């Protein structure tokens, strides 16, 4: 199974269309969305082509393949217009024989990890990509596709049967962890 992993879209229709293009390019079976779907938040500038209504309409057309968690900018009013669950703080998944704890990163994060054993701790929120091993746990943040920080490019992630990847929008692998 291939899973496209995206975080921090913040209402950008331009980047929402990129997400759909990437789903098709990678022939992904699922989209794991790590929060902050529609609203840009009071600390961020407006992202490129900010249009939450169009983003909502586009994402709703893929509701059957989206697995999402709530970001700090997501709210109950967003859930009223989105046709996939968005209000859970975290979700746990088992994909390709790997256990995953997926969250936005504003409650659980690398300095405050959840209890339990997982292969991957996946989060967003910081707008900074990360792929690092901490003991038996892989810390993974795909970065932000619409509003990257730290001088980084727009990035997204992919989980496949052979590895975990972070790509820039030009298709270059920024970081990777190959599975044995």
Give the confidence band of 57 by pLDDT, cuts at 50, 70, 90: very high
pLDDT of 44 higher than 90: no
Q: Cα torsion for 72, 58, 123, 50, to the nearest 10°?
A: -50
Give the confidence band of 132 by pLDDT, cuts at 50, 70, 90: very high
Residue-level pLDDT at 103: 98
Using DSSP's 3-state secondary structure scheme, residue 1 falls into coil
pLDDT of 34 higher than 90: yes
The CATH number assigned to the domain with range 3-178 reads 3.60.21.10
Task: Give the helix ranges, DSSP H, for 63-104.
Answer: 76-81
Residue-level pLDDT at 165: 99
Q: Tens digits of per-residue pLDDT, 137-153?
A: 999 999 999 999 999 99
The arithmetic mean of pLDDT across residues 110-137, rounded, is: 96
Give the confidence band of 125 by pLDDT, cuts at 50, 70, 90: very high
Q: Tens digits of per-residue pLDDT, 62-98?
A: 999 999 999 999 999 999 999 999 999 999 999 989 9
Q: Calculate the alpha carbon distances from 101 to 60, 94, 148, 153 in Å.
A: 24, 9, 23, 25
Nearest alpha-carbon partner for 22 in 131, 174, 168, 179: 168
Give the confidence band of 54 by pLDDT, cuts at 50, 70, 90: very high
Whole-number percent of the chain with pLDDT over 70:
100
pTM of the model: 0.96
């Amino acid at each position: 199974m291939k899973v496209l992993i995206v975080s921090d879209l913040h209402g950008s229709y331009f980047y929402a269309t990129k997400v759909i293009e990437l789903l098709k390019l990678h022939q992904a079976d699922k989209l794991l969305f790590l929060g902050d779907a529609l609203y840009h938040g009071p600390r961020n500038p407006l992202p490129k082509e900010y249009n939450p209504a169009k983003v909502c309409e586009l994402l709703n057309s893929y509701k059957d393949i989206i697995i999402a968690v709530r970001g700090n900018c997501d709210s109950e009013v967003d859930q009223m217009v989105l046709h996939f669950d968005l209000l859970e703080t975290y979700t746990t998944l088992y994909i390709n024989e790997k256990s995953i704890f997926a969250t936005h990163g504003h409650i659980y994060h690398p300095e405050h990890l959840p209890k339990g054993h997982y292969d991957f701790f996946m989060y967003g929120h910081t707008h900074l990509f990360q792929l690092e091993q901490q003991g038996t746990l892989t810390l993974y943040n795909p970065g932000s596709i619409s509003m990257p920080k730290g001088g980084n490019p727009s990035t997204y992630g992919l989980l496949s049967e052979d590895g975990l990847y972070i790509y820039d929008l030009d298709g270059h692998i920024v970081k990777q962890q190959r599975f044995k």
